[in-house]
Structure 1
Amino acid sequence: MKIKVCGLFREQDIDYVNILKPSFIGFVFAKSKREVKPSFARILKSKLNDSIKAIGVFVNSDIDFILNLIDSNVISLIQLHGDENNDFIENLKSKRNIIIIKAIKVNSVESILKSRDSLADFLLFDNLKGGSGESFNWDYLSQAQKRGFKREYFLAGGLNVDNIQQALSLKPYCVDISGGLETNGIKDFNKMKSFIYKVRGIHNE
């Protein structure tokens, strides 16, 4: 089971993940309380353990801005969280051989089924307000799976130690957490440790 810790913006956050070693971390390059500037993201990435892949999170960003972060080795994967369509994804893929994750705002079973046509390598299912710490109705996902949805996906939105067992029953490729690991707006090592250990414990049962 893959784990992504999103919204890192302090050197101390990097220290935490280097100890706990999730599969992925996320740098947010969009207006957000967790936004990180490219110059500082480069510093953070230089301190990141090589076994952890950095994902850049973008919202309707200019393609050259994204390409610059790829070429400067700040990020290894791209997460598109805005209105980016298949034309944008195809254009990006034609320029760089990189894995793309497309975030889908879930408000119905149909919103999940419709996402099957995305050219992204992975989908990421989140609520209508990404980063709010609230989950969407996971029944939509289980219903979509019963109707033949089989794509690999990241599950985000409102995850925490209390609901992670239910989340894992939906068999995501990766669980993506940010606010659920914070105290007063910053990453909390003990919350991060508890969550990651619980995911690994459930997965290894």
Structure 2
Amino acid sequence: MTKIKICGLKRLQDIEYVNELLPDFIGFVFAGTKRRITDEKAKELKAALNPEIKSVGVFVNDTLEHISFLANNNIIDIIQLHGDEDRKYIADLRKLTDKKIIKAVRVKDSMSVQEAKELNADYLLLDTYSNSGEYGGTGKTFNREYIPKNIGNYFLAGGLNAENLKEIIKDTNPYAVDLSSGVETDGFKDREKIKKVIEIVRQ
């Protein structure tokens, strides 16, 4: 069964929602502006999080020291790299922590996905490419024909919501789906929307 990640949690209220509804993963964002949280806030939220739910730290071109600090102090259980991190960066990060690594790919074409497979991450996360240089979180979907058949387990992101989720999962059979703006109302996580998408995925 496809797993579910709810990304961009910022409030204790968000934690209460997920503790009740039990997605498989949640995401703390340590980059950008809109959903970014401090290390202290992440520590507070993680302490309140049901231990059955894995916390994923989302980073864009961050320092190895910062990422490994959060990972080795178990503030995050999984690392998600959303910037221009290369194979050497990932290899160096593995020397500092044994946490699993997700590498996000901004899908421009099928070649961009094939190239990302060479980076030696544990999972790829396929997100929508943006001409404006954004590192994800665009809320738009991409052409699913670009997903290679031999990709293995991957996370699928980019414009997912209750309206399109069922069809997209049927079409692509991803290891996990990753939602953020698709479960928000006015920029805040919405309990009913989270509940709905979890029901759709687990039907």
Compute the RMSD of aligned alpha carbons.
0.9
Corresponding letter in the other structure for 2:68: L
Corresponding letter in the other structure for 2:146: Y
State which of 187, 190, 198 in structure 2 corresponds to 1:188.
190
Contact 1:58 1:81 in 2 (8 A): yes
SS class of match (2:42): helix
**Moved >4 Å (runs of 4+):** none
Give TM-score scaled by structure 1 length.
0.93
Alignment deviations for residues 78-135 of structure 1 (CA, whole Å, 9 cap, x no partner) = 0000000010100111221110000000011111222221210000000124111111
The equivalent of 1:100 in structure 2 is 101
2:178 and 2:123 map into 1 onto residues whose CA distance is: 13
1:66 and 1:124 map into 2 onto residues whose CA distance is: 18
1:116 and 1:50 map into 2 onto residues whose CA distance is: 30
Corresponding letter in the other structure for 1:86: R
Structure 1 portions without partners, runs of 5+ = none
2:13 and 2:90 map into 1 onto residues whose CA distance is: 33
The equivalent of 1:46 in structure 2 is 47
> Aligned-pair distance for 1:171?
1.1
The equivalent of 2:118 in structure 1 is 117
Alignment deviations for residues 29-85 of structure 1 (CA, whole Å, 9 cap, x no partner) = 002301011001100000000100000000000111111111221101000000000
**Structure 2 matches for 1:115-154, cutoff 5 A?**
115-128=116-129, 129=134, 130-141=136-147, 144-145=148-149, 149-154=150-155
User: What is the aligned length?
Assistant: 196
SS class of match (2:80): strand
SS class of match (1:119): coil
1:181 and 1:122 map into 2 onto residues whose CA distance is: 23
Contact 1:27 1:56 in 2 (8 A): yes
Structure 2 portions without partners, runs of 5+ = none
Q: Sequence identity, in percent? A: 46
The equivalent of 1:88 in structure 2 is 89
Contact 1:70 1:76 in 2 (8 A): yes
